[in-house]
Amino acid sequence: MGASDFSKLPHIGEALRRKEDYRFLTGSGNYTDDVTMANQAYCVFLRSPHAHATIKSIDTSGAAGMPGVVGIFTGKDIEGKMGGLPCGWLINNPDGTPMKEPMHPILAINKVRYVGDHVAMVVAESVEQAKNAAEAISVDYDVHPALVSVADAAKKSSGVTLHDEAPDNQCYKWAIGDKAAVDAAFAGAAHVTKLDLVNNRLIPNPIEPRVAIGSYSRSSEEYTLYVANQNPHVERLLMSAFVLGLPEHKVRVIAPDVGGGFGSKIFLYAEDVCLTWASKQLNRSIKWTAERSECFLSDAHGRDHVSHAEMAMDSQGKFLAMRVHTDANLGAYLSTFATAVPTILYATLLAGQYATPQIYVEVDAWFTNTAPVDAYRGAGRPEATYLLERLVSRCAWEMNLGQDEIRKRNFITTFPYQTPVALQYDTGDFHACMDKSKALADVAGYEARKSASAAQGKLRGIGYSSYIEACGIAPSNIAGALGARAGLFECGEIRVHPTGSVTVFTGSHSHGQGHETTFAQVVAARLGISPEAVDVVHGDTGRVPFGMGTYGSRSISVGGAAIMKALDKIEAKAKKIAAHLMEASDADIEFANGEFTVKGTDKKIPFGQVALTAYVPHNYPLDKLEPGLNEAAFYDPTNFTFPGGTYICEVEIDKGTGEVKVDRFTAVDDFGTIINPMIVEGQVHGGIVQGIGQALMENCVYDNTTGQLLTGSFMDYAMPRAEDFPQFKLDTVCTPCTHNALGTKGCGEAGAIGSPPAVVNAVLDALAPLGVKDIDMPVSPHRVWEAMQKGSTTP
Ligand code: MCN
């Protein structure tokens, strides 16, 4: 079935209420912390109070005999018994030499490299007893100077080295694009716009913290790990093959209900491995539930780029070439996908929506004494969009063009379009998104609103952002060529039961995105049954054949497409059964609206009858057909999907306090075919809130000399609240994806990608009369007030 026919099926485009919400809203969800195993003990991790230190000695003797203590492990205890945590993506330097991949020990051996690094695991009968014992462990540290920023890490004069394997603290130097062609274009440009900017470090804060329970069965010699995780099969693969050295079938990973992840639960974390391994040593199930302060310290952080960008233009504001240098902070160790974020997921997106003929990007990636940085909602693509869309608005201001006009002059209009930075966009209609967004935002009424603000002594500004995103991650052949150590396909299995109801097993994972509803809509639409008759199972390596999990807004476009492939197989077999029942040839059977018909006759039978026949095969051609109606399929996409859109933000600024109020926010997105508009709207809302959170208030700060996390709680790390936002205005444009059977493009990250530059551009537009040309996120009242005082002295 083609994507166009699919989009017309019943239930596609229907705003069904989420099936899973009853259990979430009534407190009957089953999260990892709700699971209690027989013979369960509890563990806590003793963490480093220093950002950079040598461990001279650890004395656990006082703790070992304390009440309730079951076991204590340090790095030395487990050294040689398991490998370090692996990084999933290899990056090569331009000269072909590989990146540096220093050992990432499960528990620190000899050295600690960030505040929160794991020093010891204490297992006890209760959490309180484990905490008491952890406090009794005495560690003798020799404290070293800490490196916090990329600038410090790059300074040879500091003499500070985190890892012997990377004496200059650099993980890799990477580049993409034709440098000579870019330099030549710059030489002939009428105007060059330059911009330095920081993409601030963020701390993900899903409602549910990280939680894990490890257990071991002596009779089956199997480990089971319950864990709040977004991709259980990948967790199992990395843990069994790379760390524990076990065959995969001896490890079962179950990620039951998960209360949000936003990318921070994709990775293989030290705690998960450590307690799984220890469950066999101690013959106990072991539970760990992170406290919020541990989440701040040890969940992988996001963003943290420092960049310089330049755009070369002709006299009409047409882009000729772009040049970018980015320094990326990777933190103390490589987290699972860390190396891919500032390269493959960032630099390849820098063409954005524009037909810039030449682009050259260099990325230097550095180790620092901070928590590992990895994927956080959007991962690489928000960083690219922020840089590009800030640069484009600055180009507009320097060329005396409107922010909309410069974008329209440079939009790509023909598809497929090959960018100079590797990606090939299949579809899009950027002008349609811009025009619809301007109409919805009532741009025509902006000047009147600006005058009204001025009359109240307030500044008003308008900001644009036209983003594109590569999601549906990823075609395995592209990922493999770019250094991935695994394919990124997806698996779907359809089990049709004798009564015609269906269970779907998917390798995608839902931790808030509503897959139990939307995947059911897809199956119900294809089979002509009710979504109520479809159950979706995910998050268990023991039940789902395989899976690459959820990140990069891939679930509907890759996981959903795998389900469509399995449905093709179901339909083909069901047609044979129907042909047999109606004594017709297979080729004459048609299937629509849940009924099998014989072409040119009035003969028909419902799907349910065929399902029953598959399991009750009286008078069934067993020599030609196996009983049962159960099919699985693996789907590997041929390309990414490319959602895009234009966001327009209006802010009002209080001149006295510098407080920024987001007064209006409009988002027009192209997600191709939409399965459930209510769920998509919710996704966009959440994404915009996260993006505006980064733009206005969220900011992770380490002390520059000690490496202490200064924003280690909600007292210091501001998160956005509902009262910080106006009612968003949303609409969509639809250019279906050309290469998956649903025509869908991902929607899960769009809001977080498109919104930060729209907000900051609006702030700069408002501050322009005061001569302010630049400001970094978060645009806190203090920063805005300072910029207003400095005025035209800002660069
Ligand atoms: N959908 C649709 N029509 C489309 C596209 C999507 O109906 N054209 C539906 C999908 O069926 C799915 C939802 O929208 O129910 C999101 O789909 P998709 O864009 O495929 O994204 P994923 O399901 O792969 O989710 C991942 C994405 C990412 S990468 C992050 S980070 C993120 C996000 O989604 N983390 C979230 N949204 C989140 N939402 C919640 N509540 N919690 C998180 O941790």
Instruction: Report, as an integer, the average pLDDT of 287-296.
Output: 97
Probe residue for ligand 1, chosen from 7, 265, 556, 749 as the CB with the greatest number of ligand atoms within 8 Å: 556
Strands 604-606 and 595-598: antiparallel
Instruction: Report, as an integer, the average pLDDT of 593-619.
Output: 93
The alpha carbon of 757 and the centre of ligand 1 are apart by a number of angstroms equal to 22
- CATH number belonging to domain 40-165: 3.90.1170.50
The whole-angstrom separation of Cα 534 and Cα 645 is 33
794 pLDDT band, cuts 50/70/90, is low
Non-local CB neighbours of 549 within 8 Å, separated by 6+ positions: 230, 231, 232, 233, 234, 266, 507, 508, 509
Instruction: Report, as an integer, the average pLDDT of 300-325.
Output: 98
| Average pLDDT, rounded, for the chain | 96
SS percent in the chain: helix, strand, coil, step 5? 30, 25, 45
One-character DSSP codes across 473-522: ---HHHHHHTTBSS---EEEEEEE-TTS-EEEEESS--SSS-HHHHHHHH
Judge whether residue 88 has pLDDT over 90. no
- Tokens, residue 487: 């394919």
The count of C-alpha atoms lying within 13 angstroms of the C-alpha of 573, restricted to the half-sphere facing its C-beta, is 24
User: pLDDT tens digit string along 42-53?
Assistant: 999 999 999 999
The pLDDT value recorded for residue 795 is: 53
Amino acid at 236: R
Residues forming CATH 3.30.365.10 domain(s) in the chain: 3-29+489-635, 205-298, 305-474+639-793
Non-local CB neighbours of 179 within 8 Å, separated by 6+ positions: 360
Q: For residue 671, which atom of ligand 1 is closest to its CA?
A: 8
Contact 691, 751 (CB under 8 A): yes
The pLDDT value recorded for residue 792 is: 60
The alpha carbon of 747 and the centre of ligand 1 are apart by a number of angstroms equal to 6
Non-local CB neighbours of 713 within 8 Å, separated by 6+ positions: 292, 293, 296
The alpha carbon of 541 and the centre of ligand 1 are apart by a number of angstroms equal to 21
User: pLDDT tens digit string along 689-743?
Assistant: 999 999 999 999 999 999 999 999 999 999 999 999 999 999 999 999 999 999 9
Instruction: Spell out which residues line ligand 1, taking CB within 6 angstroms.
Output: 206, 260-263, 377, 511-515, 518, 550-557, 671-676, 679-680, 683, 686, 744-749
Instruction: Report, as an integer, the average pLDDT of 104-116.
Output: 97
Backbone dihedral region for residue 559 (phi beyond 0: left; psi -120 to 50: alpha; all else: beta): alpha
Q: For residue 686, which atom of ligand 1 is closest to its CA?
A: 39
Judge whether residue 557 has pLDDT over 60. yes
The alpha carbon of 124 and the centre of ligand 1 are apart by a number of angstroms equal to 38
620 pLDDT band, cuts 50/70/90, is confident
Residues forming CATH 3.90.1170.50 domain(s) in the chain: 40-165
Amino acid at 363: V
Instruction: Report, as an integer, the average pLDDT of 496-503.
Output: 97
The pLDDT value recorded for residue 4 is: 86
One-character DSSP codes across 627-679: S--EEEEEE--SS-B--EEEEEEEEEEETTT--EEEEEEEEEEE-BS-S-HHH
User: pLDDT tens digit string along 203-247?
Assistant: 999 999 999 999 999 999 999 999 999 999 999 999 999 999 999
How far is CA 789 from each of CA 121, 271, 370, 656, 658, rounded to the nearest angstrom? 51, 48, 33, 11, 10
The alpha carbon of 166 and the centre of ligand 1 are apart by a number of angstroms equal to 37
Report the CATH architecture of 3-29+489-635. 2-Layer Sandwich (3.30)
Instruction: Report, as an integer, the average pLDDT of 16-41.
Output: 96
The alpha carbon of 552 and the centre of ligand 1 are apart by a number of angstroms equal to 9
Probe residue for ligand 1, chosen from 747, 749, 753 as the CB with the greatest number of ligand atoms within 8 Å: 747
Probe residue for ligand 1, chosen from 267, 509, 513 as the CB with the greatest number of ligand atoms within 8 Å: 513
Instruction: Report, as an integer, the average pLDDT of 428-457.
Output: 98
CATH class of the structural domain 305-474+639-793:
alpha beta
Contact 396, 406 (CB under 8 A): yes
Instruction: Let me know if 307 is exposed, middle or buried by CB neighbors in 10 A (0-12, 13-18, 19+).
Output: buried
Instruction: Report, as an integer, the average pLDDT of 544-561.
Output: 95
Q: For residue 672, which atom of ligand 1 is closest to its CA?
A: 8
In degrees and rounded to multiples of 5, residue 456 shows phi and psi of -95, 10
Nearest CA, atom 26, ligand 1: 553
The alpha carbon of 746 and the centre of ligand 1 are apart by a number of angstroms equal to 7
The pLDDT value recorded for residue 629 is: 97
Q: For residue 512, which atom of ligand 1 is closest to its CA?
A: 41
The pLDDT value recorded for residue 37 is: 96
Instruction: Report, as an integer, the average pLDDT of 480-498.
Output: 89
The alpha carbon of 526 and the centre of ligand 1 are apart by a number of angstroms equal to 21
481 pLDDT band, cuts 50/70/90, is confident
Amino acid at 356: T
Share of the chain above pLDDT 90, in %: 94
The pLDDT value recorded for residue 472 is: 87
The pLDDT value recorded for residue 484 is: 81
The pLDDT value recorded for residue 714 is: 97
The alpha carbon of 595 and the centre of ligand 1 are apart by a number of angstroms equal to 32
619 pLDDT band, cuts 50/70/90, is confident
477 pLDDT band, cuts 50/70/90, is confident
Note the ipTM here: 0.99
Judge whether residue 114 has pLDDT over 90. yes
User: pLDDT tens digit string along 264-279?
Assistant: 999 999 999 999 999 9
What kind and span of H or E run contains 388? helix 381-398
Judge whether residue 15 has pLDDT over 70. yes
The alpha carbon of 299 and the centre of ligand 1 are apart by a number of angstroms equal to 21
Judge whether residue 793 has pLDDT over 80. no
- Asked if CATH classification 3.30.365.10 holds for the domain at 205-298, the reply, yes or no, is yes
Q: Which 3 state secondary structure label does DSSP give 43?
A: strand
Nearest CA, atom 4, ligand 1: 674
